[in-house]
Chains A and B, each alone.
Chain A
Amino acid sequence: MLDFESVIFVIVSCAAIVGALGCVFSSRVAHSLLWLMFTFFAVAAAFLMASAEMLAAIQILVYLGSVMLVVQFGVMLTRRRIQDVESLPTLNAISAVSSVGIFAFILVLLRGMMEHSIWDSDSSTAPTTLGFADAIFNDWTMATVILGSLLAMAMIGASYLVRDERLINLLWDMGVEE
């Protein structure tokens, strides 16, 4: 029943779930971030097992390489007291009830999804990276171009949001001597 690949996938899934739980329940933000990186690495392994090598590479390069670095900057640029004291999870009756509710929600979703009729038909062969490149640069060309302009706008917007408005810096920018 269980072949070697299934066993590997179960191990990868357990790693992803443990990482996600560690991200939610660890008390320090920096530890949450490390657990989240662990989860993303496991998700990249799951992509690899679905024969999506290109997506696994994108996941590791973009998520683990740059997004997590940006989040780490956000953690470093806010005060330590906030990270440790004010960010403690709210432990009260409401959060306990919501945990139980979400656990039930996961079970209901899992049951509904695993018994759905779309899994009845046999799986076809997985797409290839060559087909992926063909789809991006032929079928989805316009979407890729729009995505590029959206990313440029996001970068400009982010640098506008974090600009420094102090007068001395504005004067320095304009080259005015004191």
Chain B
Amino acid sequence: MIDPSWIAALGVILFGIGLLGTFYHKNAIVVLMCIELMLNAANLNFVAAASHYGDVDGWVFTAIAISIAAAEVAIGLAILLSLYSTQGTISLDGARELRN
């Protein structure tokens, strides 16, 4: 089996790239995708810890995190479509209904 610290290192790199994407884009769908990337990096860390300690709880947390991510994407895209039908844009700079 592969050394668990390598898997955690991959998780760190993917998390950083996802963080960069959330700063970099103003399209809300791409920001949502980058958040998914960061969630996946967290899952990689859970799996690394599970295989290091030989404890299955890390896998359970990963399965729960994947389910939560599915729910989050459904809600997030529903909010974005609702925003698009009221504002006509999904740009994060253009949505200003809730500002002030």
Which residues of A approach B to under 8 Å, CB–CB?
5-6, 9, 13, 16-17, 20-21, 23-24, 29, 32-33, 36, 39-40, 43, 46-47, 49-52, 54-55, 58-59, 62-63, 66-67, 70-71, 73-75, 77-78, 82-83, 86-87, 89-90, 95, 98-99, 102-103, 105-106, 109-110, 113-114, 118-119, 123-128, 131-132, 134-136, 139-140, 143, 147, 150-151, 154-155, 157-159, 161-162
A131 to B90 Cα, complex, angstroms: 44
Mostly helix, strand, loop or mixed at chain A's interface?
helix
A20 to B7 Cα, complex, angstroms: 16
In the assembled complex, which residues on chain A have CB atoms less than 8 Å from the CB atom of B72?
154
Most B CB contacts (10 A, CB to CB) among A50, A73, A106, A154 go to: A50
In the assembled complex, which residues on chain A have CB atoms less than 8 Å from the CB atom of B17?
17, 20-21, 23-24
Q: CB distance A46 to B44 under 8 Å?
A: yes
In the assembled complex, which residues on chain A have CB atoms less than 8 Å from the CB atom of B23?
95, 98, 102
Q: CB distance A24 to B78 under 8 Å?
A: no
In the assembled complex, which residues on chain A have CB atoms less than 8 Å from the CB atom of B77?
70-71, 73-74, 158
A106 to B10 Cα, complex, angstroms: 11
A58, A74, A77, A127: the one within 8 Å of B51 (CB): A127
A126 to B47 Cα, complex, angstroms: 10
In the assembled complex, which residues on chain B have CB atoms less than 8 Å from the CB atom of A67?
36, 69-70, 73
Q: CB distance A150 to B71 under 8 Å?
A: yes
Nearest Cβ distance between residue B29 and chain A, in whole angstroms?
Answer: 5
A154 to B70 Cα, complex, angstroms: 9
Nearest Cβ distance between residue B74 and chain A, in whole angstroms?
Answer: 4
